[in-house]
Amino acid sequence: MKRQTLGKSELSVSTITLGAWAIGGWMWGGSKTKDSVRAIDACLDHGITSIDTAPVYGFGHSESVVGKAVRGKRNRFEILTKCGMRWEEARGEYYFTTNDNNGVQRDIYKYSGKESVIAECEASLRRLGTDYIDLYQVHWPDPTTPVEETMEAFQVLLAQGKIRAAGVSNYSVDQMEAASRVIELSSNQVPYSMVRRDIEEEIVPWCLENHCSILAYSPLQRGLLTGKITPDYPFSPGDSRPDTPHFKINNLIRINQFLDQIKPLAAEKGITLSQLVIAWTLRQPGITVALVGARRGEQVKQNAGAMEVQLSGEEMEMINLKLGELNLDLR
């Protein structure tokens, strides 16, 4: 597995990193802890040493599962987690209301006040069963708190050795500029896939110019680009995907038609569609890491296999030509 250094930091991570949102169960129709632990164990067998999680993924459940899985071998993993999405009290900007894995209604707020960030870090350290976090990230920008104040909290945590590198997630160029005036910003974690490429306009150029790594999340568009999500797919109760724009029936049909066009290339190479999609993602300018979810060991093995895929310039051109013919309505 290839490794990448994040920004100007000394932290290196595996180019394919395990995204642990689905492990939290929340918004994915549940998860089984035993399967999740096995999936994390399988990561080391295939060179994936980095895990990206967050407190809000299952309201602490994902972090706890990660902590359980890395116990006794913490030094073999890089743990990436986040702060800034609170559900215990009404502070910051209201984001949305949802049910947790037990059906309890939760109001979620974007809040990144200095003392709150420091307290969140302590809570994450406890759930993860570790005394340091490799990459700490603001999950979403909080419009009620100056970016500079949030970054002051990161300064404190860096000085204390509780985090090794500072990153953000879902930040705009202006917000990254503000953060960079306070700390050395190592990364920005943003959504990016074949069918969601808006970051190419402003964020990618800024990150390239400022040596800030991009961690691309949802490169498989929450499973849609695997080719397994058909119009009659049986989503589990609590799965939020059917309510998102890419999963609307007309978009789903068009995306599957596109996938049918590139399936022969995957078959020719003896790889899965997922591996082809991940390989394409990692060939894009500015993309440092692909965050790919997995809830079972076999999925981990398949994801890791994408690193072995070689795509020629002509093959990339063919894929991009087909992508250019997609006409999605993402309103």
Instruction: Give every CB contact of residue 10 below 8 A, 6+ residues apart in sequence.
Output: 164, 165
> How many Cβ atoms from other residues are within 10 Å of residue 268's Cβ?
9
From CA 144, how far away is CA 111, in angstroms rounded? 7
Q: Which is catalytic among the residues 57, 136, 171, 217? A: 57
Distance from chain centroid for Cα 254: 25
Residue with tokens 């302590």: 122
Distance between first and last Cα of the chain:
38
Q: Provide the residue type at 138 as one letter.
A: V
CA atoms within 13 A on the CB side of 124: 30
Query: Are 79 and 134 a contacting pair, CB within 8 Å?
Result: yes
Q: How far apart are CA 133 and CA 212, in angstroms?
A: 19
The region that residue 190 occupies, defined by phi over 0 for left and psi between -120 and 50 for alpha, beta otherwise, is beta
Q: Is 192 a catalytic residue?
A: no
Judge whether 164 and 134 are in contact, CB under 8 Å.
Answer: yes
Task: Give CB contacts under 8 A, 24+ apart, made by 68-76.
Answer: 68/33, 68/37, 68/129, 69/36, 69/37, 69/40, 69/41, 70/40, 70/128, 70/129, 70/130, 71/129, 73/44, 74/129, 74/130, 76/44, 76/49
Any idea which residues carry the catalytic annotation?
57
